[in-house]
Structure 1
């Protein structure tokens, strides 16, 4: 069977979160079900949360089914050899109306051993930030399990953590083991390994409507954490109509692609490409057909779709596995 090649868009999987708000609707046009919608999973193969195609020839098909049918066409030969029919990345938008919990993610080895999962290396692109909004990334100075636990138990953990004020366009790369939290007043595009494993360490002593605290994973986090300082913020160039690499790691390569006019793109077919539109609108042209996308749209370009044209005025994040 020959796959019909076109940019695949999926129904967003919307998640209510204690810290969520309404910016996914007001800023990104998502049809949110609650006033505390914290996440829109744009492209996911996490079991129980598998994305479904929104339109075109494969409308209504789950990503997992398409990958069984057309693994090499979608993933590319190299990625298929590495991951079989598993889609290795997860793409989300997050709206933090309140601070997220302070947390850490395990590496591949620990996640495989404990949860039969990938680890969770991730990156953040700040799409919007209120005045004075900040994130927590890593320790201020080299720490230790003892120092960390002492501050955690005394409820002054924040004193030894690195807080960074953020603005639109800031990029942070979080390797596994980096203690972190997204602060209130920020909308983020997140690119990460396919994993839903989070060790929550501290949740600001908050409770839900029923007076219940969320589960913490203090013990599990102890040996998952990197107690060294980390350099997480990434600088990048902004050359028009081409990809400017922001993060290049074994799990994904993400480039900043400022589009103004028309750009012809040629790929070698070794990896799928994902485009996240963080600003503006653009059209995607291939094989005589044109598809329109706007801010808040995430598209999956199958690896077998090698040549296409992007035109419009938009800010795109371009992601592949190199």
Structure 2
């Protein structure tokens, strides 16, 4: 019998045309190339992470799910549609602009077999001065207007742009046109999906030297032209050792907190919890031990972990399935 403990995973790093080496700041040993994504916790055909240490070192997340099920992941911790872990946790290094894109919802008829739609949220860990994020369409842009702008090579005229600052948060329901701009480093919490429809990619070559595929018809089909409920804003914390809600969706809840001294918390039988350390240093303590925490760390706390404490001085994101 394995006693539950906070699970840290070995990231899967993905080379992207818009990536670089910024994730090295978190102490990761990156493979060669322009690394844009670190898949920190996930179970997907395109990448499944394995436990880094402890009694379950080397066990993949899919194996952990099959072995422990709802006891460890919680009553709502397994996707009813796919049978997999329901979320995908990433760190993104956007050293260049990402494509202008949109994601479908779970009901889109052309969604790939075994795929979910993709509602997500970003928390900006760092941003260079003047960094921008494309976030939705400008007022009055409908399908016909957008299609014409694409044909005429002026899609950027239809997009709403926002300046990005460290600590900003962006909630991006399926159907929201969006793009991270050059110079931002973000934590991403999303549905467990790898489906992206590209509207525009700045006419640049991909890693293979060829233009990356665009998905104009699918994109026009899934965009929520009247709005999908997207929101963004600042995340100033009013007090230590208290949670500030950042995003609430049918798929995940995300909160931000600042631990100071000692913060007593607990898991519940409903869902696992994900902790992402944004800044500061400290530790997590539970009945069976203690582990250090530093920026970039991502932990999965089993639903049956029970009481735990965050100590030191650090800012964290907490995510779970509502």
TM-score band (shorter)?
over 0.9
Find out whether 1:41 has 2:36 as its counterpart: no
Cα deviations by residue, 1:80-125 (Å, 9 ceiling, x for unpaired): 4846852000000001111000000000101675443110000000
Partner of 2:14: 15
The one of 57, 60, 64 aligned to 1:59: 57
What is the total number of aligned residue pairs between the two structures? 320
Alignment partner, residue 262 of structure 1: 262
Match of 1:282 in 2: 282
- 8 Å Cα contact 1:172/1:234 also seen in 2: yes
Task: Tell me whether 239-248 or 124-133 shows the greater mean CA deviation.
Answer: 239-248
Superposed CA deviations along residues 269-300 of structure 1, whole A, max 9, x for unmatched, are 21100100011122111115111121111000
* Equivalent of residue 157 in structure 1, options 155, 158, 165: 155
Partner of 2:98: 100
Equivalent residue runs for 1:1-322 within 5 Å: 2-25=1-24, 27-80=25-78, 82=80, 85-110=83-108, 113-208=111-206, 210-229=208-227, 231-236=230-235, 238=237, 239-322=239-322
How far is the alpha carbon of 1:264 from its aligned partner? 0.5
Alignment TM-score, normalising by the size of structure 2: 0.95
Determine if contact 1:111/1:197 at 8 Å carries over to the other structure.
Answer: no
Matches of 2:37 and 2:216 in 1, distance apart? Answer: 24
| Mapped contact 1:264–1:307 kept (Cα < 8 A) | yes
> RMSD of aligned C-alpha atoms?
1.7
Q: Is the 8 A contact 1:137 1:232 kept in 2?
A: no
Give the 3-state SS of the residue equivalent to 2:26 in structure 1: coil
Q: 1:135/1:84 Cα in 2 relative to 1: closer, same or farther (>3 Å)?
A: closer
| CA–CA separation in structure 2 for the residues paired with 1:284 and 1:83 | 33
How big is each residue's C-alpha offset from its partner over 1:26-67, in whole Å with a ceiling of 9 and x where there is no partner? x22221113411000000111141110100000011110111
Structure 2 Cα separation of the partners of residues 265 and 82 of structure 1: 28
Report the Cα offset of residue 248 of structure 1: 1.2
Runs (4 or more) in structure 1 with deviation over 4 Å come to 80-85, 111-114
Aligned equivalents of 1:216, 1:142: Cα separation in 2: 24
State the TM-score, normalizing by the size of structure 1: 0.95
Structure 1, gaps ≥5 residues long: none
**Residues 216 and 321 from structure 1, CA distance in 2 versus in 1: closer, same or farther, beyond 3 angstroms?**
same
Q: Which moved more, 1:58-67 or 1:225-234?
A: 225-234
Separation in 1, partners of 2:35, 2:79: 37
Q: Deviations over 1:207-263 (max 9, x none)?
A: 136531011111111111111256421454512112211111111110001111110
Task: Give structure 2 stretches of 5+ with no counterpart.
Answer: none
